[in-house]
Structure 1
Amino acid sequence: MLRLEDLTLFVRAAALSSFSEAAREAGLPPAQVSSAIKRLETALNIRLFARSTRSLRLTPEGETWLPYATQMLETMQAGLQQIQTPDDEIRGTLQIAVPSDLGRNLLLGIFRQFRQRHPALKLRILFSDQVTDVFKDPVDVAFRYGSNEDASYVALPIAPENRRVLVASPDWIAKNGEPATPADLEKCDALTYVLRGRLFDRWTLTARGETHEVQVNGTIISDDAEVIRRLAIAGEGIANKSWLDVSEDVFQGRLKLLLPDYEGDGVPLNMICPHRKQLSPAVRLLYEAVKERCEALVQRRG
């Protein structure tokens, strides 16, 4: 008889290519993962992994069986959820990956309200500006900026019309004045962001069908989007940010929009899932809650 725990450890070990990593993720001794795989191999009468001191890979039989094991695991988990959960309550743990700035300053508040409506649900929230691999990393969903360029996962639109905006603090504006044209940005202190080695120091603005690409300069660079936002609030310069990241700061007067007649680059927000079978009731309800709030903010910006 196949055990649910053994199936889970097999799927995770295959995704991570490591018994020790699967054990660490599950909080188990590596020997327990090895025993689980041996039980599966005995029950199935096949070898699932080719093991050596330096590598771990699926055998051809293991590769063939992996999608079936994944489907079995999902079916068993869905069945358990149905028999253990009342119709009006969701349980379990939902693991979520979110961008640093957006997560702390907008999504965290939405998540707290969501938890209050569903007290039996646990949330595990991972904050990072790095792109999360929803197949390999231990997350159920990831919120990600950018267009959907990978057909291997499902990208549910949260705020497809979201764009970048230029912002600075009232103190900075009082000292330096507001730029009147995109060309004026070349002489301003720009707070620039770097991600995976790419420096975002060319800002694009569009108005009346004309596009302006400006090379900006500044003395502060950071790989943390929240740091850029905080520096802007502190009066250190101009930031080119997603509207969703700074909307509350603008409404509260901590930041002011610059060159409001110009449109910045589009930065659509999506919720990423490995595939549609991952859309559990908890995931669907969370999607609806986040989408409702973000759509309202984008519409308020106009």
Structure 2
Amino acid sequence: MKAFADLVLFVRAADAGSLSAAARALDISPAAASATLKRLEAELHAQLFVRSTRSLRLTSEGERFLQHAREALRAIDEGEQALRGDQAVLRGSLQLSMPSDLGRSLVLPWLDGFLAAHPQVQLRANLSDHFADVYRQPVDVALRYGPPPDSSLIALPLRADNRRVLCASPDYLRRHGEPADPQELAERNCLRMLIRGETQDRWRLTRGDDVRDLRVRGDRVSDDGHAVKRWALAGHGIAFKSWLDVSQEVLAGQLRVLCRDWRGEPAPLNLVCPDRRLLSPLVQRLREFLRERFEAIAPPPE
């Protein structure tokens, strides 16, 4: 399938930003890779890359074609797996975006086991607390908290009952005391997140019909959730984190949940993708793998 091989080379070169790197990955010579790319451009009557001696970048035509090339390769891969039946060996590449802290704390160690069980799967992990644009960025699926910002996205639940919790280290609480009421947060050093350029300085907690919408302050702000947790573990203040992010540290006694009779904001975790056609056997198996592990985590202490 010469057309298939041409598409594979094109996608590999786009991902690597290098034709020679794509050639090495596919075990072909740089000359053969260059000839393949020239043939593909001639067939499409379009220039896909701007080349120099040190770099390779997509043209606007190349960026548009890349989306279709990825979809074509996925469709071929799904067709091959369908022909082999339900017990076919999972294979193919997957680009997964996930929140920084969740990825480092839980998902990456879990994925080691998933990849060991499916050695023909290749993974590209993107750890960031910026919501990945799954339409424009080279991302197949994304793990994200809360409803997706675009209602046209497909959101598959992984842990629907997850919520945020107030937490701090035992060392911080020894030095400053444990707050008995959320209102005391106004006098504490609160470790805040920066999301989409806005500091998250309003924390909402509820107890029955009582709702506290609190404005908090502190000396530290980060756009990286893992950094916020590290500050909390080091005793620098109080964090308002997803329970999934801090469950291990709470169970280990490194962090303590505060104001337990108050409930933090809901933070349901979903696996997000732009189109149901992208729900390949690989994505569906990964979703089930992750859902089982997230649902096995005990809820926050009451």
Q: TM-score with structure 1 length normalisation?
A: 0.80
How do residues 183-202 of structure 1 correspond to structure 2 at under 5 angstroms? 183-202=183-202
Residue 123 of structure 2 aligns to a residue in which SS? strand
Separation (CA, whole Å) in 1 of partners of 2:234 and 2:69: 52
Which residue pairs with 1:138 in the alignment?
Answer: 138
Residue 179 of structure 1 aligns to a residue in which SS? coil
The change in CA–CA distance for 1:24 and 1:261 in structure 2 (over 3 A counts) is same
2:205 is the alignment partner of 1:218: no
Separation (CA, whole Å) in 2 of partners of 1:232 and 1:58: 47
2:90 is the alignment partner of 1:97: no
Aligned length: 290
Residue 297 of structure 2 aligns to a residue in which SS? helix
| Residue 123 of structure 1: how far off its partner (Å) | 2.4
2:12 is the alignment partner of 1:24: no
- Per-residue deviation, residues 46-98 of structure 1 (Å, max 9, x unmatched): 75579999x95459xx98x9987665443322234456899352123322111
Worse-superposed segment, 25-34 or 277-286: 25-34
Which residue pairs with 2:297 in the alignment?
Answer: 297
Q: Is the 8 A contact 1:159 1:298 kept in 2?
A: no
What is the one-letter code of the residue matched to 2:158?
A: I
* Aligned-residue RMSD, C-alpha: 3.5
Q: Is the 8 A contact 1:244 1:298 kept in 2?
A: no
- Per-residue deviation, residues 216-271 of structure 1 (Å, max 9, x unmatched): 11112222111110111111110000010001111111100001111111111111
| Residue 299 of structure 1: how far off its partner (Å) | 4.0
Q: Which runs of 5+ in 1 are unaligned?
A: 14-19
What is the one-letter code of the residue matched to 1:105?
A: S
The change in CA–CA distance for 1:157 and 1:252 in structure 2 (over 3 A counts) is same
| Residue 141 of structure 1: how far off its partner (Å) | 1.6
Separation (CA, whole Å) in 2 of partners of 1:96 and 1:184: 39
- Per-residue deviation, residues 9-60 of structure 1 (Å, max 9, x unmatched): 77x69xxxxxx956717745999999767645755xx75579999x95459x
| Residue 121 of structure 1: how far off its partner (Å) | 2.5
Q: Which runs of 5+ in 2 are unaligned?
A: 24-29, 52-57
The change in CA–CA distance for 1:51 and 1:184 in structure 2 (over 3 A counts) is closer
Residue 297 of structure 1 aligns to a residue in which SS? coil
Residue 253 of structure 2 aligns to a residue in which SS? coil
Residue 254 of structure 2 aligns to a residue in which SS? coil
- Per-residue deviation, residues 129-148 of structure 1 (Å, max 9, x unmatched): 12112222223221111212
Residue 283 of structure 1 aligns to a residue in which SS? helix
What is the one-letter code of the residue matched to 1:132?
A: A
What is the one-letter code of the residue matched to 1:247?
A: S
Separation (CA, whole Å) in 1 of partners of 2:291 and 2:169: 28
Which residue pairs with 1:112 in the alignment?
Answer: 112
Residue 219 of structure 2 aligns to a residue in which SS? strand
Separation (CA, whole Å) in 2 of partners of 1:32 and 1:301: 60
Which residue pairs with 2:269 in the alignment?
Answer: 269
Residue 296 of structure 2 aligns to a residue in which SS? helix
Which residue pairs with 1:229 in the alignment?
Answer: 229
- Per-residue deviation, residues 183-202 of structure 1 (Å, max 9, x unmatched): 10001111111123210111
Separation (CA, whole Å) in 2 of partners of 1:80 and 1:88: 9
Separation (CA, whole Å) in 2 of partners of 1:218 and 1:91: 47
Q: Is the 8 A contact 2:204 2:265 kept in 1?
A: yes
Which residue pairs with 1:173 in the alignment?
Answer: 173
Q: Is the 8 A contact 1:2 1:40 kept in 2?
A: no
Q: TM-score with structure 2 length normalisation?
A: 0.80
Percentage of matched positions with identical amino acids: 40
What is the one-letter code of the residue matched to 1:267?
A: A
Which residue pairs with 2:288 in the alignment?
Answer: 288
Which residue pairs with 1:253 in the alignment?
Answer: 253
Separation (CA, whole Å) in 1 of partners of 2:112 and 2:69: 34
What is the one-letter code of the residue matched to 1:266?
A: P
What is the one-letter code of the residue matched to 2:163?
A: R
Separation (CA, whole Å) in 1 of partners of 2:15 and 2:254: 45
Separation (CA, whole Å) in 2 of partners of 1:148 and 1:298: 25
2:153 is the alignment partner of 1:121: no
Q: Is the 8 A contact 1:103 1:127 kept in 2?
A: yes
Separation (CA, whole Å) in 2 of partners of 1:293 and 1:258: 25
Q: Is the 8 A contact 2:257 2:301 kept in 1?
A: no
